[in-house]
């Protein structure tokens, strides 16, 4: 069924040639068990499918039992191809798994008992609304690894207001550049399974403390600008709103 759903996405997204982010949300009673089990399985997947980089990252939501398992693909076609290959080459994955040092007895049984899958969502990266093509892509992997904090906002946009929402973000990004403000900011558009959210806004920083400190500095600069005040006024009568926020912290050792 999952393969059918994802295959149908191809037919409704022709021409899509942007980066795709798949987010799998899980809850676990044991982060330690989750870490050991997922590491073993993903290592087997990479070996079985002969992948050097699965482009997979795991984030925890502090103060909750939630884990966010992210995987990136260049296109929806690549995503479906990977899912099909993982299913079709399961024997190779199992063989690679069996050749690894075994986990302690009961690890997998515990994983099944304490870990619950919640939902999968699929998002399309919107580079024209984001700063990350200029700020993030130029960083080295080591520099990126220093930024483990993500501030996540989910935005709901009313019918026929997508263009207004996009135009507002473009204006804000242009104003920030004019004001000398630079930070890592990415917007993703919902493709599948995102409940009531149409867009996901991701702000990246080194820590929660750094995020709020830098946000305060940005706000002080913006509030001295008449153009910013005009944009805020435009936002106050808009047809979209932030409906919820989350904090994600990247677990560096769970990068595959």
57, pLDDT greater than 90: yes
d(Cα 116, Cα 184) in Å, to the nearest integer? 32
DSSP symbol at 101: P
Cβ atoms 200, 153 nearer than 8 A: yes
Cβ-Cβ contacts under 8 Å for 135 (sequence gap 6 or more): 182, 183, 184, 185
Bigger pLDDT: 94 or 13?
94
- Average pLDDT of every residue of the chain: 92
Cβ atoms 166, 114 nearer than 8 A: no
pLDDT band at residue 18 using 50, 70 and 90 as cut-offs: low
- Condensed to tens digits (0 to 9), the pLDDT of residues 114-171 reads 999 999 999 999 999 999 999 999 999 999 999 999 999 999 999 999 999 999 999 9
Q: Which of 214, 62, 211, 207 is nearest to 147 (CA)?
A: 207
Q: Which of 69, 6, 19 is nearest to 186 (CA)?
A: 19
Residue ranges of domains in the chain, CATH in brackets = 2-121 (3.30.70), 128-246 (3.30.70.100)
């Amino acid at each position: 069924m999952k393969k059918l759903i994802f295959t149908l996405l191809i037919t409704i997204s022709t021409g899509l040639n942007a980066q795709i982010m798949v987010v799998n949300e899980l809850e676990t009673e044991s982060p330690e068990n989750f870490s050991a089990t997922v590491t073993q399985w993903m290592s087997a997947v990479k070996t079985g499918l002969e992948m050097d980089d699965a482009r997979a990252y795991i984030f925890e939501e502090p103060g909750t039992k939630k884990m966010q398992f992210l995987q990136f693909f260049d296109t929806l076609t690549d995503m479906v191809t990977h899912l099909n290959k993982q299913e079709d080459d399961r024997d190779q994955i199992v063989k690679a798994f069996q050749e690894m040092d075994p986990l302690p007895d009961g690890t997998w049984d515990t994983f099944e008992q304490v870990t619950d899958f919640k939902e999968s969502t699929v998002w399309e990266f919107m580079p024209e609304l984001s700063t990350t093509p200029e700020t993030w892509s130029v960083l080295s992997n080591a520099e990126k690894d220093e930024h483990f904090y993500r501030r996540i906002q989910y935005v709901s946009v009313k019918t026929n207001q997508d263009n207004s929402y996009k135009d507002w973000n473009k204006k804000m990004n242009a104003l920030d550049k004019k004001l000398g403000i630079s930070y890592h900011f990415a917007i993703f558009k919902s493709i599948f399974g995102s409940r009531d959210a149409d867009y996901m806004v991701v702000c990246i920083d080194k820590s929660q403390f750094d995020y709020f400190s830098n946000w305060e500095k940005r706000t002080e600069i913006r509030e001295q600008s008449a153009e910013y005040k005009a944009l805020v006024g435009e936002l106050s009568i808009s047809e979209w709103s932030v409906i919820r926020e989350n904090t994600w912290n990247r677990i560096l050792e769970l990068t595959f």
